[in-house]
Each structure stands twice: as C-alpha cells, then as structure tokens.
C-alpha cells in the first residue's frame, strides 16, 4: 500500500516467464514492490494473457514489454537482457529494480547496475527503505552472518531470494496497461548469441514437485536414509515440498546433483526445511541455514544439526517420516 515512504518512487519488477504465467518468485517480488513504490512490471518477451490478468490482481497498472530489434536480438543472452533493462530504467526513471535471485538474473542485475552506475544487492531476503535509501537484508558467509546493506545511489538494483515474503494479491485488482518499448541491442551485446536450446526432461522424472531453489517447503535426506529416499519423497509429497539431499547422498548416487543443498549445491531459504538423516555439516548448513523453520530428524541426539534446529525429533527416520506424512494427510483431509 502506498504511503509516505513509497511516495514518488518507481519500482520495476522484472518477470521471469511472462510468456507463461506469474511464478511464485515474481508474485513475491510484486508483493515486496508494492510497499516500496509505484510498481511497473517489465517483460523481456511477449506476455501471455494469464500473466497480464495476474498482474492486475497484484495491483500492477503498467506492464512494459521490451521489443528487441535486430536479427540476433532474440538470442536472450544476459547482455541483451541487461541492455533492455537499461532502456526500461531510462524510460520509466525507475528508482528500484527487483529481480528474482536466479543465476541468470544475478548476472543481468550486475550488468545493469554496472551500465547505469547503480548500487547492487544480490540475494536479499528482505527489501525496505531506510534513512540511507533502499536497504536489503542478506545472509552471508555460509549462513554465519546476517547483514543489512543500503544502496546509496539514486537507482537500486536488487535480486531477491525466493520465499522472502508470502505473496499476496493487492486488496483491489486493477486494469493492467501493456506498453511496448523498442530496444536495439548493441553489437557488443550480441557478439555471442544463443544458437540452440534443448530442454531436458526433469531430473525427478516429472514428479510435479516444486523447484528446489524456490520451494516454500523442502524435505531433505542424507546418508541416514541408507539410500532409501522413499520416506523423504512421501513426506515431501504430503507437504507439497521439494526434495533435497546432502552431497554424500548425491555422491552415493541415491539422488541427482540438482537435489544437492549446500555450499557446492543449491542455496535454499524455504519457510520450512526438514532434514532427515543429515548430520548438519558446515558445507550443508551453508545452503539451508537461512530457512525460516528448521526441523531435524536424526537418531543421534548429539548430531550437530540439532544446534540449528527449531524443532528436533530424535528417532529413526524410517519410523518418523511416514508418521509425519500420515498425520499431514489426515490433517489436510
């Protein structure tokens, strides 16, 4: 809701998949953006009718679609996307640009910030406006420090982690006007182009579970599963959660590398993380310590994961997880 702290500020929210639907990270960005100023959504590809309708529900009055000119312009490598955003920032005189914290968006955000001389905050878990300007909270050094940083330039570019807030539509839906902005990428931006793109089948065999990096609930298994991820997957499905794992479970070949959480895997910050048969080694903690609620299931009461757990169950995961799944299904029913 606009108030004296939001007055006069223009916030661009960059949509990840405007040609399909608004995914949860985009809905979360729009929720954050409403508290910062007047929101303009930006799409680097033609939006679907569903996206435009959902933007209206989130109170977005303007969607700016960048039309890329030139033979190679639709290659969509990061320099092209960054130049399109430079044009969007210039046209709208934006004060803040918010992107979701994907690998690609971190690079686009960095290129944009460099091109326009803006301050950049990567992987923020909260964004607000303070006396120093736009402020981002983030967890750093493998979860050992929480820091707050302020952008001191007129424009702030911020990438925001998934699950930073619970997405909520605006109190009143509005009509979203779609405007187009022509952008001709420079020769240097198109000096490397995308030649082909092949989409692989999901590593989880098309389970329909949410993506690990952006899931609100994650159930992770470690060496304590002894290779049987059945109870982990069953609890995940009862909760609507993603499945994660430790590196040891990945190295054993029990799950694929995309499920690895940690310093050399995916960094997550779900609302609830459940770790089963996981000791809580620093390399693993670094990727999950920012979770809002940490639940540990381990048969060793001295396991280090209990040091960071909000709730702990000392027991055999093969007994505990099925009971938890059953209780959740009964509750839902």
Binding region for ligand FAD (CB under 6 A): 222-224, 246-249, 260-265, 277-279, 281, 283-284, 287, 297-300, 303, 316-318
Tell me the two tokens of residue 278. 């996981």
Asked if 116 contacts 108 with a C-beta cutoff of 8 angstroms, the reply is no
Using CA atoms, how far apart are residues 239 and 253, in angstroms rounded to an integer? Answer: 25
Q: Are 132 and 152 in contact (CB under 8 A)?
A: yes
Q: Which runs of consecutive H residues, i.e. helices, occur in the chain?
A: 24-34, 49-57, 78-92, 103-116, 230-239, 247-251, 282-288, 305-308, 317-332
Instruction: Give the nearer residue to ligand FAD in terms of CB position, either 204 or 252.
Output: 252
Residue nearest to ligand FAD (CB): 262
CA atoms within 13 A on the CB side of 109: 28
Whole-Å CA distances, 148 to 62, 67, 125, 164, 225? 31, 36, 10, 14, 38
- CB 329, min distance to ligand FAD, A: 21
Nearer to ligand FAD, 159 or 279 (CB): 279
- Residue number with CB closer to ligand FAD (176 or 260): 260
Nearer to ligand FAD, 14 or 232 (CB): 232
Q: Least distance in Å: CB of 231 to ligand FAD?
A: 10
Smallest separation (angstroms) from ligand FAD to the CB of 283: 3
Q: How far is the CB of 287 from ligand FAD (least distance, A)?
A: 6
In the complex with ligand FAD, the residue whose CB is nearer, 47 or 224, is 224
At closest approach, how far in Å is the CB of 104 from ligand FAD?
Answer: 21
- Ramachandran quadrant class, 123 (left: phi over 0; alpha: psi -120 to 50; beta: rest): left
**Whats the size of the chain, residue-wise?**
333
CB of 141 to ligand FAD, least distance (A): 15
CB of 41 or CB of 317, closer to ligand FAD: 317
């Amino acid at each position: 809701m606009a108030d004296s702290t939001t007055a006069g500020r223009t916030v661009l929210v960059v949509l990840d998949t405007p040609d399909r639907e608004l995914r949860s990270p985009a809905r979360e960005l729009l929720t954050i953006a409403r508290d910062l100023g007047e929101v303009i959504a930006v799409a680097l590809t033609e939006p679907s009718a569903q996206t435009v309708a959902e933007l209206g529900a989130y109170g977005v009055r303007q969607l700016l679609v960048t039309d890329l000119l030139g033979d190679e312009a639709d290659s969509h490598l990061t320099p092209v996307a960054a130049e399109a955003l430079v044009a969007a920032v210039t046209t709208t005189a934006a004060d803040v640009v918010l992107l979701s914290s994907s690998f690609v968006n971190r690079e686009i955000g960095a290129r944009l910030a460099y091109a326009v001389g803006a301050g950049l905050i990567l992987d923020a878990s909260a964004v607000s406006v303070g006396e120093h300007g736009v402020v981002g909270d983030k967890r750093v050094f493998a979860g050992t420090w929480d820091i707050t940083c302020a952008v001191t330039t007129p424009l702030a570019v911020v990438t925001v982690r998934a699950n930073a807030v619970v997405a909520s539509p605006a109190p009143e839906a509005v009509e979203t006007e779609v405007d187009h902005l022509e952008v001709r990428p420079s020769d240097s931006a198109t000096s490397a182009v995308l030649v082909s793109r092949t989409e692989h089948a999901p590593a989880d065999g098309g389970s329909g579970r949410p993506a690990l990096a952006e899931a609100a609930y994650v159930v992770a298994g470690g060496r304590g599963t002894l290779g049987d991820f059945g109870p982990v997957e069953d609890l995940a499905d009862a909760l609507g959660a993603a499945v994660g794992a430790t590196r040891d479970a990945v190295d054993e070949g029990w799950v694929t590398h995309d499920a690895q959480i940690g310093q050399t895997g995916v960094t997550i910050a779900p609302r609830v993380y459940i770790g089963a048969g996981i000791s809580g080694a620093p390399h693993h903690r670094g990727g999950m310590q920012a979770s809002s609620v940490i639940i540990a299931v381990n048969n060793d009461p001295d396991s280090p994961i209990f040091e960071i757990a909000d709730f702990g169950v000392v027991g055999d995961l093969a007994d505990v997880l099925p009971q938890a799944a059953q209780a959740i299904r009964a509750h839902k029913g």
